[in-house]
Structure 1
């Protein structure tokens, strides 16, 4: 990461530093919201309209708990409590279809 690294959409400076590899970011844009997913909490513990902002917040959580299992994920547009790429309501098994 260079000192000038930032979100190209929101111009939020990227402060992930040594956590960059552990916290890859999905691309910003298109009105998508992003969140910090914490496995121990079983859900999103922070949301933002910028993935870089969410990544920066996750770094602060790592400072409090270096063992936390965190990731930055896009949030499902229809089910705000679920990650977009694995939303149980959108991608549930076919038996749950109407």
Structure 2
């Protein structure tokens, strides 16, 4: 019997299967939301409290609809929910405007 990989934080089983390498997940942290970022859609198309949950959703829903979709699972900016945390344009603009 093969052990099922799980989110270390939320214990959600990882069901990405053959898409695991193509859809890597960030390390999941409590109180952070994670979203499926779809370049073609121009933003997040699904958001969850767990990165593994977001990755599972992508392979169950998004990939069957469009196998060529360019997507990634990213942390959501806590202040600007439409932006990824690591590259939030609004946060960087706020920092540039500071005295």
Q: Same fold (TM over 0.5)?
A: yes
Alignment of structure 1 residues 1-98 onto 2, 5 Å: 3-60=3-60, 61-92=62-93, 97-98=97-98
The TM-score normalised by the length of structure 1 is 0.90
- Number of corresponding residues: 96
How far apart are the structure 2 equivalents of 1:75 and 1:48?
9
Aligned-pair Cα RMSD in Å: 1.6
Stretches of structure 2 that go unaligned for 5 or more consecutive residues are none
Stretches of structure 1 that go unaligned for 5 or more consecutive residues are none
* Residues 26 and 74 in structure 2, CA contact (< 8 A), matched pair in contact too: yes
The TM-score normalised by the length of structure 2 is 0.89
**Would you identify which runs of 4 or more consecutive aligned residues in structure 1 move more than 6 Å?**
none
